[in-house]
Chain A
Amino acid sequence: MFGLIGHSTSFNDARKKAMDLGYNHIAEGDLDVWCSAPPQLVEHVKIVSAIGKTIEGAYIDSCFVPEMLSRFKTARRKVLNAMELAQKKGISITALGGFTSIIFENFNLLQNKQVRNTTLDWAKFTTGNTHTAWVICRQLELNAPKLGIDLKKAKVAVVGATGDIGSAVCRWLSNRTGVEELFLVARQKQPLQELQQTLQGGQILSLEEALPKSDAVIWVASLPKKLEIDKSLLRDPCLMIDGGYPKNLDSKFGGSGIHVLKGGIVEFFTDIGWNMMEIAEMDIPQRQMFACFAEAMLLEFEDCHTNFSWGRNNITLEKMDFIGEASLRHGFSVLGLQPNIEVSIA
């Protein structure tokens, strides 16, 4: 069985969803009640892949909401308790969705292996980052040409280049896609230089320098709150892939010439009888989901019960190949630009 650990995108959404599901005791509670609410296994689902393989899975809501991010202890408990529940329910491989893996990494939860009487087995969890990185790369490769961008002659910036997903994307773009110029953007200099060395290429630029020069920008860091960009300085066309969480790029960059694509999202070939993707605000919640969630499904489809994506900078091109091939074989496709955009370009 595969598992997905997710959460609502805001406190208000969480209350509404809880009310719909009949969890009135927490739906009516204030944020303090939610801080004390246990994780809930809210849905079981059965999925048949494009090649006829059947798997079962469960969705666990950690009862975390982004409003809890400033409460370190609360956020830590929400993640660990949801992971404990997944393990107690006998789930073989569980993806950490949304803020779950971010909290896990930023708060260094590796040192919290013991949760009550359960010893967490890290092999049963995946961040899903390998699939996310592969999906983002494929989104670039498939959608840039639709806007008339020839990647072989294009300048591509990766914002958040030194992160787990960012560095994997850079490796893929250097070795597989072959873009003309790769701009590496991140906050810290030292890891940037190390990345540049391992890539044996790429140019380190600040965000302000990189944006006006780029035909495509891959965002795998959240948008700095105070960022002010003069849109008239950006290239036309410019493809922006929003691989961060939460996805808020279109509020800043939407407009003619700038095409924002939700990054790291996949679509299954047929409807899945679940309700929970509605809380992740997918356009087609019966089919679309975060690529990290899909990774847990793929690992279950492939009987690959291991922490496939774990730790930092362990994503190899071979792993991306493996998960990418599995993704296509079992019926996932990457989210593309709206068809009307392609028409207007053609």
Chain B
Amino acid sequence: MPTLESTEVAGTIKTDSLPDFTSAEYKDAYSRINAIVIEGEKEAFDNYNSIGKLIPEKAEELKKLAIMEMKHMKGFTACGKNLGVKADMEFAKEFFSPLHGNFHKAFEEGNITTCFLIQAILIEAFAISAYHVYIKVADPFARKITENVVKDEYLHLNYGQEWLKANLSHCKDELMKANKQNLPLIKSMLDQVADDAHSLDMDKEELMEEFMIAYQDSLMEIGLDSREIARMAMAAII
């Protein structure tokens, strides 16, 4: 039905162009975004090793995932160096601290469901969505590294999904509860980095949508129905 007045649609259509990777504004924002990514991968390394302690029979597999995360961390460290940017690790540690705290509390209580929800669903979906958006506006060096990382991250998302799927009958309530506590943290983390992400030409709106797609897909994969997922997603906007 190509029946629209072309003037009604968006005025002029902008062609996608890449940002200036050498500008002071870009580098300043990159120092925090790059740090978040590096810290996120480090958290993932620690978290998968921790989950391995709670499921000793899976410890070897989880260790392999953790090693991949360490490899990603090194890749992203190289991305910062390539642009001559020093990552603001202090900012990133603070940025992750609420989620980090919740993960450790769950770990100490031996709560595998919450640990998987935080690491394998929320953090992985957050990472995948951010990487998908970033790939389109990244410098050539970082784009190559990020493309390879995304392929691995899908494996990680899968790993947590499989465990939760197999255990859904007795972990559903816990999953819902953990989601209610932790999904709002993801939302506020996104809000915190929105301005810096904008400086890298990454829209907050698109980041949120990509996150919701990855999040929804993984919950669907676990075996939740669309109404349950809708109820869980509600926590993101309250």
Interface residues, chain A, CB within 8 Å of chain B? 22-26, 28-29, 32-33, 35-38, 40-42, 69-75, 77, 81, 97-99, 101-103, 105-108, 116-117, 127-129, 132, 160, 163-165, 219-222, 224-225, 243-245, 264, 290, 292, 312
Contact = CB atoms under 8 A, between A and B. Distances in A.
A24 B236 CA distance: 12
Interface stretch (B19-27, B44-52, B171-179, B223-231): B223-231
A25 B231 contact: yes
Contacts of A219: 3
B10 A22 contact: no
B132 A25 contact: no
Given A70-B10, A72-B14, A221 B5 contact: yes
B103 to A, nearest CB: 24
**B interface majority secondary structure:** helix
Nearest to B16: A73
B5 A106 contact: no
Contacts of A29: 237
Interface string B1-21: 111111011110110000000
B205 interface: yes
B237 A101 contact: no
* Size range of the chain B interface in the assembly: 20 to 34
B216 interface: yes
A152 B132 CA distance: 58
A77 B209 contact: yes
Given A38-B216, A40-B226, A25 B237 contact: yes
B195 interface: no
B60 interface: no
A41, A102, A224, most chain B CB atoms within 10 A: A102
B13 A221 contact: no
B2 A164 contact: yes
B234 interface: yes
A219 B2 CA distance: 11
Contacts of B231: 24-25
B208 A36 contact: yes
B10 A25 contact: no
Contacts of A69: 8-10
B71 to A, nearest CB: 19
Contact of B3 (A28, A72, A74, A243): A243
B205 A25 contact: no
A25 B206 CA distance: 18
Nearest to B220: A41
Contacts of B222: none
Contacts of B9: 69-70, 72, 75, 102-103, 106-107
A24 B216 contact: no
Contacts of A99: 4
Given A69-B8, A102-B9, 14 more contacts: A23-B226, A32-B205, A35-B205, A36-B208, A40-B226, A69-B10, A73-B203, A74-B205, A106-B2, A163-B3, A165-B1, A219-B3, A222-B8, A290-B1
Query: Lowest 8 A-B CB distances belong to which pairs?
Result: A36-B208, A72-B10, A25-B234, A244-B3, A36-B209, A38-B213, A25-B233, A102-B4
